[in-house]
Chain A
């Protein structure tokens, strides 16, 4: 329960994970410290999403250890991990598209006992950060634009006041002005003390706002360190084969916008 200050909030050590018999991650270790923005970069298929899925319990690690807030969560079930305060906003804005924006936000606090005041305070916070959602509360989530859907996905997680929020490509398919809004929201969350683990294809932009960075390639971490050092180092070029900083999305994917 009581995490010593010096200990990282999240610590993955030598984690192997994958899909069924397909191993994707090989001995991946990362740390996320309290209140920091940590960015995870690497080209398509490097294993970034798989790592987030392993941390949130969707793909149970086959080796290694994950601790969060002083607890071993290596084999914990996803709902227990969520209860511990580790929230994962998955790739592709996985909302409940048929249900209203308000219902999606309510589902964000599922099984959580909140006083009415506390509940309203959290909803107010969401509306402050994403005023547009307040206007759309009664519309189906599926009718929102891509940027609004991303905001709603983050809003759902905010209902639990996470200690660590993992965001998988929140900027994917968004217009630049919306990307700025999402990045601003990430900074605002850090200001509230939330640690962020961010997977981004907008590498330069992400490294600018990040404190720490990890570079992944073929299911391994090939470099890590302060974001500024990573931005200036060689590993990034190596990972992207010279196409430093370019957004890598050769194949169009579902954007929901």
Chain B
């Protein structure tokens, strides 16, 4: 296999893994898939692009501002579109509709605000998108950094789940009622998870922007492939999401190098379907499968 194809597959796969992790953060205490997650990623990229490229803010300030802003949007979504549904029934699936509706609302509003042209976003200082000449690969320093940062981020997220609050989230995921009886408030953990999951999605958008450009059409594609990575890697399992992200990214890159462009999406879906048909719970088991 061409090393360059592999490298770009890993880069794309890292982004898919990050989207998948953002799904998982939200899913763990709520059992809700946020179908607006792709649009939150897009919002992260667009807000960040506007703050830096258009408003000229320093990288770090714009980064922090973007995360907080999108985190708050996630929180508002939880309050308006998710909490009322879960209050009625913990096992209801009305959130499928309401989170999809949130997604449509965001993508419509954004279209009015920003227009269709992609915005170029420069990597932070010291990094660049110019390809380095390492052997046959044409990968850039920013792309290498992105792959490493992804590994660090997944490790940090997993670390958070080893704190008492994180363990409480896992407890809610396993048995919500038992958690209630231990004084754990699932509602509060759900709100936190929506805030953090949305902020994480925004961060994914910021990280993706130098590679994919910030554009209002970023959402659906990342939603789909991120969701695929979450499902293949087993919902709720972040390490699984990382590996599944790589699998999907590499499959896509290999498909693109061998097949005509129209077919690369199809290749991904064949792989995802094949995995889910053979192992419906994903490749890495589900640490959240309900036993009660």
Q: List the interface of chain A (C-beta within 8 A of B).
A: 56-58, 77-79, 82-83, 87-90, 94-99, 103, 106-108, 110-112, 156, 160
Least distance between A254 CB and chain B CB atoms (Å): 9
Residue of B nearest to A92 (CB): B292
Check if B178 sits within 8 Å of A95, measured CB to CB.
yes
The answer to whether residues A106 and B183 also contact, given A94-B175, A97-B291 and a CB cut-off of 8 A, is: no
For B, the interface residue count at a CB cutoff of 8 angstroms equals 19
Q: Is B164 part of the contact surface with A, judged by Cβ < 8 Å?
A: yes
Q: List the interface of chain B (C-beta within 8 A of A).
A: 164, 167-168, 170-171, 174-175, 177-185, 287, 291-292
For A89, list chain B residues within 8 Å (CB).
Answer: 181
In the bound complex, CA of A95 to CA of B171 (Å): 9
For A107, list chain B residues within 8 Å (CB).
Answer: 164, 167-168, 171, 179, 182, 184
For B171, list chain A residues within 8 Å (CB).
Answer: 96, 99, 107
For A90, list chain B residues within 8 Å (CB).
Answer: 177-178, 181
In the bound complex, CA of A88 to CA of B185 (Å): 15
Tell which of B174, B175, B180, B287 has the most Cβ of chain A within 10 Å.
Answer: B180
**Main secondary structure on A side of the interface with B:** loop
For B182, list chain A residues within 8 Å (CB).
Answer: 82, 107-108, 110, 156
Cβ-neighbour of B174 out of A56, A96, A106 (below 8 A): A96
In the bound complex, CA of A230 to CA of B240 (Å): 58
25 pairs from A and B in contact (CB 8 Å cutoff): A78-B180, A79-B183, A82-B181, A82-B183, A83-B183, A89-B181, A90-B178, A90-B181, A94-B292, A96-B174, A96-B175, A98-B287, A99-B167, A99-B170, A103-B167, A106-B164, A106-B167, A107-B168, A107-B171, A107-B179, A107-B182, A110-B184, A111-B183, A111-B184, A111-B185
The answer to whether residues A87 and B167 also contact, given A96-B174, A97-B174, A98-B287 and a CB cut-off of 8 A, is: no
